[in-house]
């Protein structure tokens, strides 16, 4: 496939090969980079906030076909994944892909613990 400006785009087989090669260690390391960026750039260094609100947002990601862990969700009336996103100060702090048949804050603890630990440690070091 070629973009109309002449720049080649990745084909579906190329994108599919990228789906599973990331190891869990790589994913954890990327999460650490996200946390470091946030404490250094998203919050003013000279004026640390007195409080920081973590916003948990379960959202729907509709699926089509037979994707693994895609389940019917009666609230959304479709098959989907239901990722849980964590925002702070307008920036994404973490995400967890969840099956479509969970809801609310299911699996929030394991997602929040490293975020809160990092924020606490950064506040102690006054990185931000």
- Stated as kind and residue range, the H or E segment containing 57 is strand 54-58
pLDDT tens-digit map of 111-126: 999 888 888 887 765 5
Nearest Cα residue to 96 out of 63, 56, 66: 56
C-alpha to C-alpha distance for 110 and 80, rounded to whole angstroms: 22
Domain ranges for the chain: 12-125
Q: Check: CB of residue 19 under 8 Å from CB of residue 10.
A: no
Q: What is the DSSP secondary-structure string of 72-108?
A: EETTTTEEEE--EEEEETTEEEEEE--BTT--TTTTH
pLDDT tens-digit map of 51-94: 788 999 999 999 988 888 899 998 889 999 999 999 987 888 88
Q: What's the whole-model pTM score? A: 0.69
Question: Can you say whether the dihedral through the CA atoms of 96, 102, 106, 107 is positive or negative?
Answer: negative
Q: Check: CB of residue 96 under 8 Å from CB of residue 67.
A: no
């Amino acid at each position: 496939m070629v973009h109309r400006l002449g720049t080649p785009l990745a084909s579906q087989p190329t994108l599919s090969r990228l789906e599973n090669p990331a190891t869990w260690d790589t994913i954890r390391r990327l999460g650490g980079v996200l946390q470091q960026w946030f404490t250094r750039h998203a919050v003013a260094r000279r004026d640390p906030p007195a409080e920081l609100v973590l916003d948990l947002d379960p959202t729907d990601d509709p699926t089509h076909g037979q994707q693994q862990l895609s389940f019917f969700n009666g609230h959304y009336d479709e098959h989907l994944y239901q990722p849980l996103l964590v925002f702070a100060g307008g920036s994404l702090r973490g995400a967890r892909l969840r099956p479509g048949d969970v809801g609310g804050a299911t699996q929030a603890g394991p997602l929040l613990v490293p975020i809160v630990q990092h924020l606490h440690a950064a506040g102690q070091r006054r990185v931000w």
